[in-house]
Amino acid sequence: MSRALLTLLTFITLTPAHADNQINIFTPDDKSRVTNQTVWLVMSTKTNAENIPVILQNKGSKKNKINGKKVIRKGGSFVVHTLLYLEEGLNKVIIGSKAISIFYTPRYRSPKSASAKNKALQNKYSPYLFHTEGKEVLCLKCHKIDRSQSDCLKCHKEVAASEYLHGPLGSGECLACHDPESVPSKFTARFGGEGELCFSCHQESKNKYSNNRFLHGPVGVNQCTVCHNPHSSSFKYQLVAAERDICYLCHDKKRIVGKRIVHKPVKRRGCVFCHDPHSSNHTSHLLQDEQTLCADPRCHPKFAKITINHPIKGHPVSGKQDPLQPERELSCRSCHNPHSADFPFLFSAERYLFCAKCHRH
Ligand code: HEC
Ligand code: HEC
Ligand code: HEC
Ligand code: HEC
Ligand code: HEC
Ligand code: HEC
Ligand code: HEC
Ligand code: HEC
Ligand code: HEC
């Protein structure tokens, strides 16, 4: 018998009935997929739980030994609670010699931004649902899980933890949006969490959007929560990112503001200074038609009604076909990029070449 094998056999026989066999993981399940960044690891053990290392392995932490545990002793066993902070993608949790994998895909994120590798991987993990009979029963010895918001918040502090709190959370109405009768898991968001849920209280928004000619992409497909957190966030209107960054969740930042000179309002006021994030009667979801927008009293009032005589006497600014975009009329943006450009006056070419873009001689 080889020495290595001998050592292995000895090791196996000498190892006591291993503590790990007595670890019983209540939540979450192995190979599950979640959309919230934090999940609770709850397990029961027969031995002193403080001695069992919990290690979180993921892209960011590599090996992150977790110390913060809430251990409740009841009868002969221990119930251990640990909050796991997940990284986007695969997270492995090692508990003694057990291991479980959890896949995290942020809910409030454009699908475009997930890497192709993560997209392929995520299908191997099934969406995790906790509020099933089989799972809840493991907690009911010590916890109430019924219809009162104060109970919800004992386990879900994080949903109300940020500065800007959405109206119904202030008045204790988790169940206005979460259906306690849903199956197989209780508390799923009504209407799938989509627009109709929001419109059930924000009727005036619905009227406004549907009266306008153009709906912005995500609003058109009823996705409010790509931009708004339904609970709370660190940004006004419970936006999922600062207003100045939110459009870049989906639109290419480099293309819009990547040029040398950035138009001041884009830098200082942000995108919603000119665009409506929901719906509009004007092309490109502008708040007003283009020329009225440029001629705003705070901006370039002298352009309010001109149709001719800019940039030189006799030159039209509207009413003629734009030679560069023949399907459109000449207008301010024919010559000035509204966001950023490489040349002064927000031109797309050096001044002496600029006129030649449309005029051959
Ligand atoms: C043996 C009793 C017991 C069992 C079983 C139990 N818990 Fe707990 N849990 C407690 C106690 C006690 C607290 C502390 C309550 C407090 O701080 O007010 C607690 C606190 C928590 C907290 C809040 C921790 C914090 O620090 O904010 C969460 C979340 C939680 N439990 C989830 C669960 C879940 C989910 C289950 C079932 C899978 C479960 N618990 C099973 C006793 C238990
Ligand atoms: C005993 C602790 C506990 C209580 C009380 C509790 N939850 Fe949960 N809930 C969990 C755990 C654990 C998860 C799994 C995700 C995680 O770990 O954060 C979860 C997940 C959820 C989910 C995601 C869907 C699912 O089924 O996994 C929703 C929605 C939810 N809870 C709503 C509520 C609402 C609403 C209440 C109050 C009526 C409530 N919860 C009370 C522990 C609790
Ligand atoms: C305005 C509606 C609304 C209210 C009020 C609300 N939620 Fe939610 N909640 C949602 C939506 C929408 C989702 C996303 C679910 C989906 O899209 O399937 C969600 C998801 C969740 C989740 C899953 C984790 C996550 O962040 O994705 C938990 C847990 C949760 N809610 C708990 C609560 C608790 C606790 C309360 C009360 C304090 C509450 N919610 C109040 C709309 C609401
Ligand atoms: C149960 C009713 C209810 C539901 C459902 C609801 N809201 Fe609200 N919402 C309110 C209340 C109440 C306020 C605070 C009063 C106000 O400012 O209009 C509010 C405020 C807001 C605000 C801030 C408005 C402001 O002017 O500051 C936004 C943004 C918002 N909700 C978005 C949403 C989105 C997105 C959804 C769907 C996920 C949603 N709401 C679903 C009741 C609701
Ligand atoms: C593309 C991102 C985006 C989407 C999608 C989106 N919103 Fe908004 N929403 C915003 C921004 C940005 C603001 C702040 C507007 C401002 O400052 O003028 C806002 C403000 C609001 C407000 C408060 C101000 C107002 O206009 O009344 C409500 C209510 C609101 N949104 C509801 C919704 C609802 C309902 C949906 C889904 C149908 C939705 N939003 C989808 C970005 C978005
Ligand atoms: C969740 C993804 C998402 C977010 C966030 C988002 N958009 Fe959009 N946007 C789209 C989609 C999808 C379209 C429609 C497809 C297209 O025309 O490119 C669109 C179209 C547009 C258009 C019209 C494009 C055209 O060629 O006519 C404008 C303008 C626009 N968005 C501005 C904004 C502004 C401003 C913000 C921030 C307040 C924003 N978007 C945030 C997804 C998004
Ligand atoms: C000073 C007003 C103004 C501001 C601020 C502004 N835009 Fe625009 N935007 C316009 C105008 C005008 C158009 C129409 C251009 C056209 O039709 O060619 C436009 C068109 C667009 C388009 C569609 C055409 C394209 O280039 O894809 C997108 C997307 C867009 N803007 C996104 C944004 C984003 C994101 C921001 C914030 C970083 C922003 N805009 C800030 C005025 C503005
Ligand atoms: C045919 C091309 C063209 C069109 C169309 C055009 N501009 Fe200009 N614009 C120019 C040129 C060239 C200059 C530089 C003039 C100079 O040297 O003073 C300029 C300069 C400007 C300036 C800076 C100097 C000043 O007079 O304040 C502003 C602001 C401006 N344009 C706004 C607009 C607005 C608003 C519109 C739409 C109503 C518009 N432009 C349409 C070519 C154009
Ligand atoms: C975006 C395209 C475009 C650019 C850039 C442009 N123009 Fe024009 N220009 C036009 C159009 C369109 C007309 C009208 C042609 C017509 O009437 O058929 C015009 C007409 C003219 C006319 C004739 C006006 C008249 O009296 O009939 C002159 C002169 C002129 N442009 C000079 C310039 C100069 C100088 C520049 C550079 C500062 C310039 N243009 C830049 C599109 C442009």
Q: Does ligand 9 lie within 6 Å of residue 111's CB atom? A: no
Q: List, for residues 122-150, the tens digit of each pLDDT value.
A: 889 999 999 999 999 999 999 999 878 88
H/E element, 14: helix 3-14
* 155 Cα–ligand 1 center, Å: 7
pLDDT at residue 67 in the model: 67
Residue 108 domain flag: yes
- Residue-number span of the structural domain to which 72 is assigned: 22-128
Q: Are residues 26 and 122 in the same domain?
A: yes
Which protein residues touch ligand 8 with a CB less than 6 Å away?
A: 291, 294, 300, 303, 310-311, 315, 317, 330, 332, 334-336, 345
Do 57 and 123 belong together in one domain?
yes
Q: Are residues 100 and 176 located together in one domain of the fold?
A: no
pLDDT in tens, the chain (361 residues): 444 444 444 344 333 444 455 899 999 999 999 998 899 999 999 887 777 888 898 876 656 677 678 889 888 889 999 999 999 899 999 998 899 999 998 876 655 566 777 778 888 999 999 999 999 999 999 999 987 888 899 999 889 999 999 999 988 899 999 999 999 999 999 998 999 999 999 999 999 999 999 999 999 999 999 999 999 999 999 999 999 899 998 999 999 999 999 999 999 999 999 999 999 999 999 999 999 999 999 999 999 989 999 999 999 999 999 999 999 999 999 999 999 999 999 998 888 889 999 998 6
**What is the rounded distance in angstroms from the CA atom of residue 108 to the CA atom of residue 231?**
12
Q: Do residues 22 and 47 lie in contact, with contact meaning Cβ atoms separated by under 8 Å?
A: yes
Q: For ligand 5, is residue 230 a contact (CB within 6 Å)?
A: no
DSSP state of 128: P
Please state, in angstroms and rounded to a whole number, the distance separating the CA atoms of residues 149 and 153. 6
CA 282 – CA 287 distance, rounded (Å): 7
pLDDT for res 331: 94
User: According to the model, what pLDDT value does residue 117 have?
Assistant: 75
Coil, helix or strand for 340?
Answer: strand
- 156: Cβ below 6 Å to ligand 2? yes
> Residue 91 domain-assigned?
yes
Which atom of ligand 9 has the smallest separation from the CA of 355? 37
How many CA atoms lie less than 13 Å away from 242 in the CB half-sphere? 4
- In this prediction, residue 167 carries a pLDDT of 95
Task: Dig out the tokens for 63 from the structure.
Answer: 């090996």
The C-alpha angle 144, 150, 154, rounded to 5 degrees, equals 65
Residue 109 has what pLDDT?
Answer: 60
Query: Looking at the structure, do residues 330 and 240 belong to the same domain, yes or no?
Result: no
**90, 103 Cβ separation under 8 angstroms:** yes
Q: Which ligand is nearest to the CA of 227?
A: 5
Check residue 265 and give its pLDDT: 95
Instruction: For residue 138, give the nearest of 72, 75, 79, 95 by alpha carbon.
Output: 79
Tell me: do 31 and 114 sit in the same domain: yes
- Looking at the structure, tell me whether residues 162 and 117 fall in a common domain: no
Give CA–CA dist 175/181, Å, rounded: 10
Between the CA of 326 and the centroid of ligand 9 the distance, in Å, is: 14
Same domain, 33 and 114: yes
Do 198 and 167 share a structural domain? yes
- The pLDDT tens digits of the residues spanning 188-215 come to 999 989 999 999 999 999 999 999 999 9
124 and 210 belong to one structural domain: no
Structurally, how many domains does the chain consist of? 3
Residue 31: left (phi > 0), alpha (psi -120 to 50), or beta? Answer: left
pLDDT at 122 (0 to 100)? 83
Q: Is residue 13 part of a domain?
A: no
Indicate if 228 and 272 belong to the same structural domain: no
pLDDT at residue number 351: 83
Dihedrals phi, psi of 311, to nearest 5 degrees? -80, -15
Kindly tell me the burial class for residue 276, based on how many C-beta atoms sit within 10 Å of its own C-beta (0-12, 13-18, 19 or more). buried
Q: Are strands 98-104 and 232-233 parallel, antiparallel or unpaired?
A: unpaired
**Same domain (yes/no): 222, 289:** no
- Residue 309 inside a domain? The answer is yes
Is ligand 5 within 6 A of the CB of residue 94?
no
Name the amino acid, one letter, at 103: F
pTM of the model: 0.92
